[in-house]
Structure 1
Amino acid sequence: MMNVINRVLALFVCLFFSFQTAALAKVEVTWTEPDKYSDIKDSFSGYQTTKDDAFYNIEKELNRLAKKLPDGYLLKLEVTDLDLAGETHSRNIRVVRHMFPPRIKFTYQLLDGGDNVLLEKQENIRDTSFMNGVSLRHKNQAFGFEKQLVEDWFKDSFTDYLVRN
Structure 2
Amino acid sequence: MALLLVGASQAMARVTTVTDPERPRQLEGDSPVSVSWDDPADFTEIRYSGNRWEAQRGNWVMQLAEHLRKQVGKALPEGQRVEIHITDIDLAGDYRPGQGMNTDHIRMMRDIYPPRMRFDYTRYDANGQIIAQGERKLSDMGYLSRSTTRFDSDKLAYEKRMIDEWVRREMTTAGG
TM-score normalised over the length of structure 2: 0.67
The total of aligned residue pairs comes to 137
Measured after TM superposition, the shift of residue 34 of structure 1 is 2.2
* 1:103-148 alpha-carbon deviations (Å, 9 max, x no partner): 1111111112322111101111101001112664993312110000
In structure 2, list runs of 5 or more residues that go unmatched: 1-29, 98-103
Match of 2:125 among 112, 117, 120: 112
Match of 1:88 in 2: 95
SS of the equivalent of 2:46 reads coil
**Contact 2:35 2:69 survives alignment (8 Å):** no
Match of 2:161 among 142, 148, 152: 148
Coordinate RMSD, CA, aligned: 2.6
**AA paired with 2:65?**
E
More helix by share: 1
The answer to whether residue 161 in structure 2 is matched with residue 127 in structure 1 is no
The answer to whether residue 39 in structure 2 is matched with residue 33 in structure 1 is yes
Match of 1:49 among 57, 63, 66: 57
**Contact 1:138 1:144 survives alignment (8 Å):** no
Structure 1 residues 138, 119: closer, same or farther in 2, change over 3 A?
Answer: farther
SS of the equivalent of 1:39 reads helix
**AA paired with 2:117?**
I
In structure 1, list runs of 5 or more residues that go unmatched: 1-21
Match of 1:99 among 112, 119, 122: 112
Match of 2:23 in 1: none
Match of 1:73 among 72, 75, 80: 80
